[in-house]
Amino acid sequence: MSKYYSGKRTSSVYVPGAEKPFRLSRSRIDLFISCPRCFYFDRRLGVDRPPGYPFSLNSAVDKLLKKEFDIHRAKGSAHPLMKAYGLDAVPFPHERMDEWRDALRRGVTYHHGKTNLIITGGVDDIWVRPDGELIIVDYKATAKDSEVNIDAEWQMGYKRQMEIYQWLFRRNDFRVSKTGYFVYCNGITDKAAFDGKLEFDIKLIPYEGNDAWVEGALNDIYKCLQAEKPPKASADCDFCTYRAAVHELGFE
Segment 178-197, tens digit of pLDDT:
999 999 888 777 776 676 77
Q: What is the pTM of this model?
A: 0.90
pLDDT (0 to 100) of residue 194: 74
Q: Where are the beta strands (DSSP E) in the chain?
A: 22-25, 90-91, 108-112, 117-121, 125-128, 134-142, 179-187, 200-208
**3 pLDDT band (50/70/90 cuts)?**
low
**Average pLDDT, integer, range 55-73:** 87
Percent of the chain with pLDDT over 70: 96
Bigger pLDDT: 67 vs 192: 67
Q: What contacts 24+ positions apart, CB below 8 Å, involve 185-188?
A: 185/61, 185/65, 185/139, 185/140, 185/141, 185/142, 186/141, 186/142, 186/143, 186/144, 186/148, 187/141, 187/142, 187/143
Percent of the chain with pLDDT over 90: 65
| CA-based end-to-end distance of the chain | 23
**215 pLDDT band (50/70/90 cuts)?**
very high
Question: Could you tell me the residue ranges of all domains in the chain?
Answer: 19-248
**53 pLDDT band (50/70/90 cuts)?**
confident
pLDDT digits (tens, 9 = 90+) for 119-172: 999 999 999 999 999 999 999 988 887 788 888 788 888 999 999 999 999 999
What is 19-248's CATH topology?
Lambda Exonuclease; Chain A (3.90.320)
pLDDT (0 to 100) of residue 2: 45
3-state class (DSSP) for residue 155: helix
Distance between CA 129 and CA 88 in Å, rounded?
A: 6
**Average pLDDT, integer, range 62-77:** 93
